[in-house]
Chains A and B, each alone.
Chain A
Amino acid sequence: MRSHAIRIIARYTIVEALRNRLLWLVAATLAASLVVAGFLQSVTMTESGAIQSAILAAMLRLAAVFIIVSFVVTSMVREANDKGLELILALPLPRASYFFGKLAGFVSVAVVLALLFGLPLALFAPWLQVGVWTASLACELIVMTALSLFCVLSLNQVTSALAAAAGFYVLCRSIGTIQIIAAAPLDPVSGWSTEVIRLGVDGAALLLPHLDRITRTEWLLYAAPDTATMVIALLDTFFYGTLLCGAALFDLYRKNF
């Protein structure tokens, strides 16, 4: 791998984000979120700060995930349609350099997005808690960035890649609850089908990152998590990121352009 090439590809990915007016979209989302916050303040009788933080955090997290996933998918598909990908692969450059260059660029955009989306929450919650939440949002966005890259490299189509990423996100945010519910059916003698479902859910839970464990709104409302919880979130991001990188590279190297 060539670090110089990785840096150049990453830089152009960031330039593309700027030229795509992604910052305008972020600004519009932040403005909308402040309007929602003002509305909430006018309709709540008590705990207005907590309600504003909780609703804004949920909204901003969803918006950030949507923005980064759609940016990664559309950017990669556009590059493939413009034959830019084939041009780069024709250069004496390992495919891994291209992949890591794109990943570094997208991850940089994701981290900036997390920082910008964490800012308005500082109006309603203590700085430390907002900082921890922002860091955890960055972890969640990094996982979703790597996943979107994997989906778009494998599926090549905007619709299917977006659908796969959305399905994955919903599953990862709810897998913990699904696992608890599946672990103990009301009827303990309901038979083999229940056991098969439970094993399937447990298997999926082993493979998927538990995003509900990575970013949690209660950290904004009540108290910042302890160090162990943050370490778990970081390791979840790192391990799953490694797996996604391996899977995406495996797919990229097997492709015949």
Chain B
Amino acid sequence: MNERPLSHVPGPVLALLTAGLALQLFWHASLGPPKAAAETLSPPPPAMMVRLASLGETVAAAKLLMLQLQAFDYQSGSRVSYQKLDYARVQAWLALILELDPGGQYPLLAASRLYAEVLDEAKQRSMLDFIYVQYLLDPNRRWPWLAHAAFLAKHRLKDIALARKYAAALQQHTTAKDVPAWATTMEIFILEDLNELEAARVMIGGLLASGRITDRGELHFLNGRLEEIEQRMEKGQGGKSTR
């Protein structure tokens, strides 16, 4: 079967093809590119439905959904303000993505580094709480995001009590050996900031006695902190740490 020359195609067919192409291009050009609007972020579907629709490829589905969620933050070169997003829905999407792909770090990275850094305090607190809840489900893998949450609580929200809650969780629940000591000892410095020197002293002593700290540099550093706290307690210093 070979092709006949172009002259065998009737004029009306060529006209139909040209008109169809022109109409299609003109029509879509006039509609403009689709844009993600903050208010169009719909509630996520049930995880069961996504599992069904992805034919068992839940990890791939989770990665695609994360990209789609991200599309609500960025549109046509200009970033949609995160503050405009419905945070309850954003969290529902992030929770769904984590449920589909528990090993994925992207949702919590986005939660702690993007969504939790908005200027709206209520939304910040809500996202930090979400990170805390998700951390408790898999502490040894998700500790970096709670550590960042503790930093945000202390330095952005100036809520030392909240920062201590997160730091305490890091200290209590993170048991993996490859977690750096600064993450699990964060509570000590927050206690110092709260002027709870006795509690900080007990905690450092406990850490040193537990044998969890094996790095010589870290041991030296913690011993130095312990001595400093004890000196401050002897002097009866009541002010905040000068660290």
Contacts and interface: CB of A to CB of B under 8 A. Distances in A.
A42 interface: no
B20 A254 contact: no
A250 B9 contact: yes
B78 A184 contact: yes
Contacts, number: 114
Given A184-B77, A254-B8, A257-B1, A206 B34 contact: no
Contacts of A180: 33-36, 71, 75
Give chain B's interface residue range (CB within 8 Å of chain A): 35 or more
B17 interface: yes
Interface stretch (B46-54, B184-192, B216-224): B46-54
Contacts of A243: 17, 20-21, 23-24
What is the interface of chain A mostly: helix, strand, loop, or mixed? Answer: helix
A240 interface: yes
A193 interface: no
B13 A246 contact: yes
Interface in B172-230: none
A169 to B, nearest CB: 14
Interface string A203-226: 001110010000000100000000
Given A51-B49, A186-B74, A247 B2 contact: no
Contacts of B49: 51, 54-55, 58
Contact of A179 (B16, B20, B23, B34): B34
Contacts of A183: 33, 74-77
A161 to B, nearest CB: 15
A93 interface: no
A246 B18 contact: yes
A252 B48 CA distance: 45
B9 A202 contact: no
Interface stretch (A2-10, A11-19, A64-72, A231-239): A231-239
A206 B31 CA distance: 10
Interface string B3-23: 111101110111011111101
Interface in B45-89: 45-46, 48-49, 52-53, 67-68, 70-71, 74-79
Shortest beta-carbon contacts, A-B, top 9:
A246-B17, A243-B20, A184-B74, A242-B20, A246-B16, A246-B20, A253-B9, A180-B71, A176-B34
Interface of B: 1-6, 8-10, 12-14, 16-21, 23-25, 27-29, 31, 33-36, 42, 45-46, 48-49, 52-53, 67-68, 70-71, 74-79
27 contacts: A51-B49, A54-B45, A55-B49, A94-B10, A96-B10, A156-B1, A176-B34, A179-B34, A180-B34, A180-B71, A181-B68, A181-B70, A183-B77, A184-B74, A184-B75, A184-B79, A235-B27, A239-B20, A240-B20, A242-B19, A243-B17, A243-B23, A244-B20, A246-B13, A247-B17, A254-B3, A256-B2
